[in-house]
Structure 1
Amino acid sequence: MIILVGGGPIDPEWFQSLPEDGQWVGVDRGTVFLLEYGLRVDHAFGDFDSVTAVEKKMILQKVSTVHEEPPEKDATDMELALQWALSQNEEIKMIGVTGGRLDHFFGNIQLLLSDHALNHAYPVSIEDEKNKVTCHLPGNTTVEKDVHYPYLSFIPFTHQVKGLTLSGVKYPLSNHEISYGMTLTLSNEILDNFASISFSEGILMMIRSRD
């Protein structure tokens, strides 16, 4: 698993619950966060305009491979890091990308909707202490019950999502159509050990969350 760590707020207690055997990748100021935790960082991406001169020196000394980019570029630091991570053929988590600037947050949501991320052979997600966000193409998905994220919500990311069927949940659906502007599919709950989700057309965002 590759964990891309941005410079946004990260809950320390939740962070300590993440698997230690993941490959930690720093993205701009997120690199400092990782190094201060004493973690090994093999790759760091960014223009590093949000770190001090002392912190940048530490990054250059302690990170095996630093992918430094100019501040003026056509992709965000996180997009560049994700492009690299997608080439590694592993599960990918992006953390430290919520709770800060909304333009950065929605930009990171857009990264989940890229063709490469949607068609990646392994899950690609955005996570924080209260949410796990993934985006899906048509097909069937099995979701295991998780006490950390008890709520299950769906948001269409195309004008329409057709043939949506939800089973094993508190509010099931059968061959339903949802579209922009609807809140029907928010705040569901998994009743069984697993829930089954399928749909035939569109792009669907799944959010697993807690209060």
Structure 2
Amino acid sequence: MRAWILVGGRLNMTPTLSLLPSPDLVVAADGGARHAAVLGTHVDLWVGDFDSSEGLLLDAPREVHPAAKDETDAELAVRVARARGARTLVFVGAFGGRFDHAAALMLGSLRLAQEGLSISLTSGDEWAWPLLPSSPLSLELRPGTTLSVLACTDLRGLTLQGVRWPLSRADVPQGSGWTVSNETTQPMVSASLEGGAALVTAVLH
């Protein structure tokens, strides 16, 4: 089952975003509900403490939580989606909001991928996918797309093909700029790791 998790960052409606496969389930996390109108989608459940959705009107069932809680609203939305059987999660509105929330979401996406879920993050023009040894990536991207591999840990054996500067079993230090701002040269890009955890990001329009 595919679920969209609407979160509180920015959202730019792009041709790439409009081609996103339709979801089986849509869960809005607090202020992320405002993206429903842009996407032209219904919301199956609206969850959170509702501290960032003042004045927002949405015809959807609510699951209200206290502000003093141990999970972010995005994590609450993920819990709901998983309980309903979702194994593919697309976080819509993932970038451009509060840095702490965006960083927690990106790091949390690695944990979800480690637990066997398929994860994508997008704000329409920016996208990211977790890269783990257990989950290599094959991405269909237009040649000339800016692509980066963000080393969230020390990386061992990074192989990257279909780009201007390919790599074969490279070891990349955590946080290195070596793998930032590459460029796709083929319509299919592949990335794999022997050890560590990374996020592959792309700028798409």
TM-score (normalizing by structure 1): 0.82
Q: Find the residue that maps to 2:74 and give its secondary structure.
A: helix
Question: How far apart, in 2, do the equivalents of 1:11 and 1:39 lie?
Answer: 15
1:84 alignment partner in structure 2: 80
Specify whether residues 44 and 164 from structure 1 end up closer, same or farther in structure 2 by C-alpha distance, changes over 3 A only: same
Gap runs ≥5 in structure 2: none
State the shift of 1:140 in Å.
6.1
Correspondence 1:175 to 2:165: no
2:47–2:64: 8 Å Cα contact kept in structure 1?
A: yes
| Residues 35, 41 of structure 1: 8 Å contact kept | no
Aligned length: 202
Letter in 1 for 2:128: V
Distance 1:140 1:48 in 2: 35
8 Å contact kept, 1:94–1:125: yes
The structure showing larger relative contact order (alpha-carbon pairs under 8 Å, at least 6 residues apart) is 2
Q: Percent identity?
A: 27
- In 1, Cα distance between equivalents of 2:28 and 2:202: 25
Instruction: Give structure 1 stretches of 5+ with no counterpart.
Output: none
- Separation in structure 2 between the aligned mates of residue 168 and residue 147 of structure 1, nearest angstrom: 11
Contact kept, 8 Å, 2:7 with 2:94, in 1: the verdict is: yes
Give the whole-Å Cα distance in 2 for the aligned partners of 1:41 and 1:199: 36
Q: Deviations over 1:137-193 (max 9, x none)?
A: 2146242332398122111111x1111122232111122100124211112223233
Q: Is the 8 A contact 1:164 1:176 kept in 2?
A: yes
Q: Please say if residues 125 and 134 of structure 1, whose CA atoms lie closer than 8 Å, have aligned partners that are also in contact.
A: yes
Cα 1:163–1:37 shift into 2, 3 Å: closer
Which runs of structure 2 are paired with 1:1-211 in the superposition (5 Å)? 1-13=2-14, 17=18, 19=20, 21-22=22-23, 23-34=25-36, 39-52=41-54, 55=56, 58-59=57-58, 62-63=59-60, 65-87=61-83, 88-114=85-111, 116-121=112-117, 123-139=118-134, 141-147=136-142, 150-158=145-153, 160-210=154-204
SS state at 1:104 partner? helix
CA, structure 1 residues 199+19, in 2 after alignment: closer, same or farther (shift >3 Å)? closer
Task: Provide the C-alpha distance between the structure 2 equivalents of 1:137 and 1:130, rounded to a whole number of angstroms.
Answer: 23
Instruction: Mark the CA change 1:37 to 1:134 in structure 2 (over 3 Å): closer, same or farther.
Output: closer
Name the TM-score, length of structure 2 as normaliser.
Answer: 0.84
Residue identity opposite 1:50 in structure 2: S
- CA gap 1:18/1:145 in 2 versus in 1, 3 angstroms: closer
Secondary structure in 2 aligned to 1:78?
helix
* Displacement after TM superposition at 1:36 (Å): 7.8
Asked if 2 retains the 8 angstrom alpha-carbon contact of 1:131 and 1:149, the reply is: no
2:115 partner amino acid? N
